[in-house]
Each structure stands twice: as structure tokens, then as C-alpha cells.
Amino acid sequence: MSEESSNFIYDIIDQDIAEGKVDKVHTRFPPEPNGYLHIGSAKAIWINSGIAKKYGGLFNLRYDDTNPEKEDDEYVQSILEDLRWLGAEPTGGIFYGSDYFDACYEYAVKLIKDGKAYVCSLSPEEMREYRGDFDHPGKNSPYRDRSVEENLDLFERMKNGEFPKGAHTLRAKIDMSSPNMNMRDPAIYRITHTSHHRQGDKWCIYPLYDFAHPIQDALEGITHSLCSIEFENHRPLYEWVIDNIGFEKKPKQREFARLNVTYTVMSKRYLRNLVETGVVDGWDDPRMPTLCGLRRRGYTPSSIIEFVKTSGISKALSVSDMGMLESCIRDELNLCAQRRMAVLDPVKVTISNYPAGKTEYFEVSNNPTDENSGSRKVSFGRELYIDRSDFFITPPPKYHRLYPGNEVRLMGAYIIRCDDFVLDSEGKVQEIICSADLETKNSNPADGRKIKGTIHWVNAADCIDAEVRMYDRLFTIPDIADKDSSTYNDYLNPESIKVHPHAKLEASLADAGKDDRFQFVRSGYFIKDSRNPGVFNNIVALKDTWSKIRK
């Protein structure tokens, strides 16, 4: 596990405490309930909740539900589930941006009365034109000098629903020539005739995030508003709102680099498109970078937090390797996951010299790396299944598994030799006829001959049928986030899922619990699918083979 080291955010907080600016650290996580959280969200959650724990402070969950056109209670519930799954309990409470709609409205009225906000009647297209660009200053709206009385009247009528969407906005009166585009009289309220998931039809106007967020932070007593780096240029507006409303205790906004990961994207809009077009099996599809998808795939909260910690906290933009995330869960499961035998592509093996109807049991270790994991009994009978790839009629060079005339060790059991095989009408191997050296009951041959190959197997008499799903990267290129979003589909990996519908699993897996994770010998790590009890999902491969394949 990586050790926690100092970073610039800790330094800021340490200094604030030393200078007496802060008595009790209070942080928040403010997700918009318009989709499911993803691996990038885990970084913001860990930073904000982790800092509250580190300094003995409080951590709030606050839903940024100020845009009713995209929000849904389904997402509200999923966000809280994901936080608690990661161990980030909102110790300071659970809040909603909509809790503060009345306060935001009153503060907006205050700004109007103070001559610091006005109702603008420019269309969205005209506003963009008046705003200017990075090379040209903006120009004042022709409505900028409306009287306080007229602004108050129009703003109240906006609230009462007298105007259609887009007819007016309320804008902060700051500086249209500011080099910071966010300070060029930004809109702070817009008209939206959409029912809110909590407020119903009470409101026809909604505050924009840059106005509502600092107010919410101040009212909740947030000391450090920690957000991703794209809000750095919004910080002057954040501070303008706090200063001009007149809050005495002022939260401090500071920014950190987002968590980006190779071979995937973090755009909620695109992820939603994948779901709605049926490219993936819902938000929790195990190929998705969503936290619910990672949970369904079998990732643990500790492996995700370890990945976030390893990626580090800085202001520099970077992309973390998907292989590092996989390494975190692989290293964890290697130590704790029990081993089981599973045959993904089965072919029948008959042991011709083994008595029909006889069953015996072999003692097999649950985890060779953990001496405390114990062992289990695995049944053996006349008819078995092995993986089709463990048999060749005409083997390639240096092939040490089963082929006519060759011997292999059945893992934990006898040595067998292939004597014959049966083909079906299409020329595919249907059955392999073998004989067992019955003197090698989990021991070496008495005559000293060397057996080079060992293969896994299951007893046909009591194995269970299951579907096993193998997962790969969602995209074929690592830098997919650098591409234009309209071309994302061009890079979808057609082999991101491979289904083995007729797998045969060791009988003990019939009792697998929903949170039990196993190493299927020679295949990878797996967990029972949360939606389909007859399905096992591949969590991660035994080794990182992707980078080698792509070189």
C-alpha cells in the first residue's frame, strides 16, 4: 500500500490552522445528480472526506441539484450508495442545493438593491456576442443600467413564471472588460419551466452553479471548498459572490487536477449515451468507469482508494494508467482471494481405467500465498472436464499440455495420458479418452519420469454450469479523452467482452456469496454477478498482458 505523503492542499490547511484562520476543518462533495459517479469522482470524494478525517473535521454531501432538466432521484440514491461504499460517510450531513433556493433568491435581491446585479434581456446568442473573447473585451449590455426598481420588478416576475425560457437572465454587474471571461457580468439566474425532483413546480428560475455554490458553502460553514482544476478561473467569481453578499466566515476555494485514466472517458454525457444506445448493459456495466460498474465487476473500495492515492494530489494535469488500477486490485486479491478450478471452454475427458461410479476426494489449498486460508476437498470421478485449449491433436512446438500419447498432471490429482479422442460430425474434439497413473495420487511417478504440464479440471458429476464473462478495455487507444467526443464510438473495443456461456465450475462455487472473490486457476480473478447469480464476472487478469499485446 502506498504511504500518504504531504501535498499542497495539506500545506494550505496546515498554514490556515497555524494562523488561526480555521478552528475546525469542514469539507464537502457537491455532485450533480445527473448521472452515476465514476472513478474520477473517487478522487474528489477521497480528498474531501479524507481531509476531514485527517484533521478531525466534518464532511458534507451536498447534491448540486440546481439544474432540474437533467436530474433524477435515481442518481441521488446511487451517489449516496457509492459514497458509503467507498467509506466516505457524510459526517457533517446530507444537503441539497435546492435547500438554499430561498436564500439564493434573497441574496440575489440584495445584489440588485446594492446595484450589483441586473436583469438582462439579451438572447443567448446576443450575450455571446457581447461577451467578447480572449482577444477582445466584452461590451456592456444595453440593459445594464436598468433601475433598481425595474430590475426588482422583472426579477420577481421571472420568479412568478411570467416569461418564457431565455427571455431574461439575472447577471452580476462586474466588469465586461475583465481578462477573466467568468467575470464579464456572468449570468447568476436563468428561467427554466421544469419541475424539480424535490421542489416540484415551486420555482421557474434557478441559480447557476457559480452563484449558488459559494452561498451553499458559506451557509454550511465549509472552510475549504476543494474542487477540480477547471474551476480555477472561476475562483475570482466565487470570492466576488462571498464578498459582495457579505459573509463574515469565508470559505476558501482551492483546486486540484482531475483524475483521468487511459482507455476510458469520464464524460457523463457520453457515458449516458452508451447506456441509452445499448452499447453497454447499463450504468453498472463492468466495462464502465462508473463506481457502480467497478463494484459490479468486483473492484473493492480499498483498491480504488489505493489507486487514487497512488495517482497523487497535484495541480498538474496527468493521465493515470488503467494498468495501475488493475495492479491495485490484483495485488490485493492475490493475497486474499481463494483459488478455485473453473473450465471456461469445456471438453469432456473420460478416464478409461477409473471405476465408473467411484468418487474420491483430493485436498487442495485455498490460497498458497496465505497459510491461514486452509484447504478444501475436491471430488474426482471417471468423467471430467478440461479446457479445450489444454488439448491439441497436433500440438505446436514446446507445448507441454495434453495431446495424443502425452502425459500431464491434473492439478492436485493424478497424472493422466491421452490414449485416444473422439471427433463430432464437424471435426471438433468431442471427447478425450485418457488413462490415469493411479499410483500418482498427488505425488510424483515412482519411476522418476518428469511430467512437464499441469492442467486444471472439474468433476463432471458435481460441477456447476455457469456463464463466465471476460472483460477488456472499453476503448482500443489509451488517449481516447484527447479525441473529439463525436468520434469516441470509432474507438470502441469490439472485444471488450467475451462470453463463455457453458463454463463448468468447481462444485464449491455453488455457495459463492455476492462479495466473495476468487482466483479461477490460470484464468484470472472473478466475482458472482450482482444481477445474474448464474454469471461470474472477470475482475482482472492474473498478469498485465495488455501492454505487451499493444507494443
How confident is the model at residue 6, as a pLDDT? 79
Alpha-carbon span 83 to 61, nearest angstrom? 9
How confident is the model at residue 448, as a pLDDT? 84
Mean pLDDT score, 334-344: 96
How confident is the model at residue 318, as a pLDDT? 83
Mean pLDDT score, 141-155: 98
Among candidate residues 32, 81, 150, 467, the one labeled active-site is 32
Mean pLDDT score, 417-427: 96
pLDDT higher than 60, residue 1 = no
422: closest CA among 460, 391, 395, 463? 391
Mean pLDDT score, 458-468: 98
CA–centroid distance for 215 within its chain? 30
Hey, which bits of 56-176 come out as E strands?
Answer: 58-63, 93-96, 117-120, 169-172
Least confident of 67-71, 157-161, 486-490: 67-71
Give domain 342-456's CATH number out of 3.40.640.10, 2.40.240.10, 1.10.3720.10, 1.25.40.10: 2.40.240.10
3 state SS of 13? helix
Domain ranges, ordered by start, for the chain: 23-256, 261-338+466-550, 342-456
Whether 268 is a known active-site residue: answer: yes
What is the tens place of the pLDDT at every residue in 534-551?
A: 999 999 999 875 454 444
Mean pLDDT score, 507-518: 95
Kindly indicate the confidence band of residue 5, based on its pLDDT and cuts at 50, 70 and 90.
low
Among candidate residues 139, 144, 250, 258, the one labeled active-site is 258
DSSP state of 480: G
Domain over 23-256 is classified CATH 2.40.10.10: no
What is the tens place of the pLDDT at every residue in 166-178?
A: 999 999 999 999 9
How confident is the model at residue 545, as a pLDDT? 59
Mean pLDDT score, 129-155: 97
Whether 32 is a known active-site residue: answer: yes
Alpha-carbon span 307 to 291, nearest angstrom? 13
pLDDT higher than 60, residue 215 = yes
Mean pLDDT score, 237-259: 96
pLDDT higher than 60, residue 2 = no
How confident is the model at residue 4, as a pLDDT? 58
What is the tens place of the pLDDT at every residue in 262-273?
A: 999 999 999 999
What is the tens place of the pLDDT at every residue in 353-396?
A: 999 999 999 999 999 988 889 999 999 999 999 999 999 999 99
Among candidate residues 62, 159, 190, 268, the one labeled active-site is 268
pLDDT higher than 70, residue 104 = yes
414: closest CA among 461, 449, 454, 357? 454
3 state SS of 68? coil
Give domain 261-338+466-550's CATH number out of 1.10.1160.10, 2.60.40.1120, 2.40.30.40, 1.20.1260.120: 1.10.1160.10
